[in-house]
A = this chain, B = another copy of it.
């Protein structure tokens, strides 16, 4: 298997299982990777053979210790590059994910560690995701999605789970950026939309947007 293919599968399995710590289904992998389910089955069989995952037919997949180590390494490269592009090279947080998707595959420890050093070994990337250190260790925080928020409660935005330019530009337009404090005034029963107060303004956000905002209760 090509290194890039392996890396994209492992990273995606990692990202899908770290949210809910469960085994990953073929369908979710197929959706996320934009690949046909039949091809996913094939790839998982090979990754199992290579001992990167434990793939149980018709049940699901999880990373082995080796696979997990590799995945965390890729995630580190991705997030260090995103941070470097924003902090050192003047890119916007909405521009970096796509470039990092390519840069993450350049495997050179000295390079990544140097970038991290220049950045002061940051703990979080521009989207609020934690950056593993060179040994793969990092903060596992238990934040919630704003969709699970209760009315009449204050929260702080800690991150975003959708890294697409269109979503990030929308957030910026509404000043819903990392670090912002928001107060949930009301949750609409009918459609799950939220009336929130943020930056001295009231904004209504859909459950879709709320679902991609990672917050912590204040």
Residues of A participating in the B interface, judged by any CB pair closer than 8 Å: 85, 89-91, 95, 99, 102-103, 105-106, 108, 110-111, 114-115, 118
Chain B residues, Cβ within 8 Å of A110: 91, 95
User: So how many copies of this chain end up in the complex?
Assistant: 2
Chain B residues, Cβ within 8 Å of A103: 103, 106
A-B contact pairs, 14 of them (CB 8 A): A85-B111, A89-B114, A89-B118, A90-B114, A91-B110, A91-B111, A95-B110, A99-B106, A99-B108, A99-B111, A102-B105, A102-B106, A103-B106, A106-B106
CA distance A118 to B90 in the complex (A): 11
Closest 4 CB pairs of A and B: A102-B106, A89-B114, A99-B108, A103-B106
Contacts A95-B110, A99-B106, A103-B103 supplied; 14 other A-B pairs, CB < 8 Å: A85-B111, A89-B111, A89-B114, A89-B115, A89-B118, A90-B114, A91-B110, A91-B111, A99-B108, A99-B111, A102-B105, A102-B106, A103-B106, A106-B106
CA distance A209 to B20 in the complex (A): 59
Give A95 Cβ to nearest chain B Cβ, in Å: 8
CA distance A108 to B89 in the complex (A): 13
Chain B residues, Cβ within 8 Å of A102: 105-106
Closest B residue to A102 by CB, please name it. Answer: B106
Chain B residues, Cβ within 8 Å of A105: 102
CA distance A85 to B111 in the complex (A): 8
CA distance A111 to B90 in the complex (A): 9
Give A155 Cβ to nearest chain B Cβ, in Å: 34
CA distance A78 to B208 in the complex (A): 42
Chain B residues, Cβ within 8 Å of A99: 106, 108, 111
